[in-house]
Amino acid sequence: MHRERFYTLTASCPDRVGIVARVSGFISAHRGWILETAFHAEQPDEGGGVGRYFMRIEIRANSLPFTPDEFRERFQPVAEELGMEWKITDSAAKRRVVILVSQQEHCLYDLLARWQSRELDVEIPCVISNHDTFRGFVEWHGIAFHHVPVAPDNKAAAYAEVRRIFEEACGDVMVLARYMQIIPPDLCAAYPGRIINIHHSFLPSFVGARPYHQAWAKGVKLIGATCHYVTADLDQGPIIEQDVIRIDHTDTVDDMVRYGKDIEKAVLARGLRYHLEDRVLAYGNKTIVFR
């Protein structure tokens, strides 16, 4: 992580000779100073075909003679030549993170501590919850709190409200910080790659409800957590980050829940950070994570 302002170019395109030269040549022709680079060639399928090339380049902002918008304009011909999907972001433009939470505090406290210390250098325009539990805590931090109850008979209206709040807040990313509700398909579809969840198991094991109970019944020796993008397919979206912790026969389900919280908040924080730093490039149902 750099302290000075920088732009981050992320892109993917069909693999071929000369991609790195073409892109880095463009940057260097404008005297752009590269701070950090990462490239990855995803192999073609076994049946043959063309692989796909992914990249992420950080460029010192004050080394370039133009704005991000002008960069976009000038780089477009290069991108077209290479058949690229791409974007460029500016470290000076803070992302707007909307947090959804239910009644467990561990992820919320963890995210707000990181935000307080500016480790998580974002705007948090608001927190949305289906309970009123954390209103005081959130508002004490100077962050707006929206209580949007979700009941079996009001789901459509409730999620319309969530969406309205998110739009009004100009949210870039929605973080489900142990939000114990299933996001409806239309909301998933509205924000592909912009809703991040923390699931309390090492996926693909123990999809759905009460994963620690499932883990206990199975007698596994490690439990985990998974940070992933939310899609309409429950707990099946592209995985961003995972981790595990060792347990043993002395641990009850309550103990596993307690241990699990430590993994959940760490994995969510790492996954969110990778996303915010444009380190995650999803393709198909998988991710490239340029750590």
The one segment of 71-79, 81-89, 133-141, 175-183 that binds its own copies by CB under 8 A: 133-141
Minimum distance between the CB of residue 73 and its own copies, rounded to whole angstroms?
20
**Cis omega (within 30 of 0) on the bond before 65?**
no
Q: What is the DSSP letter of 173?
A: E
Interface residue with its own copies among 47, 48, 136, 152 (CB under 8 A) is 136
The one segment of 78-86, 170-178, 187-195, 234-242 that binds its own copies by CB under 8 A: 234-242
Exactly one of 15, 235, 254, 278 is catalytic; name it. 235
Q: Footprint of its own copies on residues 82-111 (CB under 8 A)?
A: 104-106, 108-110
Q: Is there a catalytic annotation at residue 69?
A: no
Distance between CA 179 and CA 128 in Å, rounded?
9
Half-sphere exposure of 2 (CA within 13 A, CB side): 18
Strands 173-176 and 97-101 turn out to be parallel
Nearer to its own copies, 91 or 158 (CB): 91
Q: Footprint of its own copies on residues 176-215 (CB under 8 A)?
A: 202-206
The torsion defined by the Cα of 29, 69, 34 and 228, in degrees rounded to 10, comes to -140
Contact in structure between 116 and 180 (CB atoms under 8 Å): no
Minimum distance between the CB of residue 266 and its own copies, rounded to whole angstroms?
6
Residue 8 in contact with its own copies, rule: CB under 8 A? no
What tokens appear for 16 in the block?
A: 């071929």
Kindly list the catalytic residues.
235
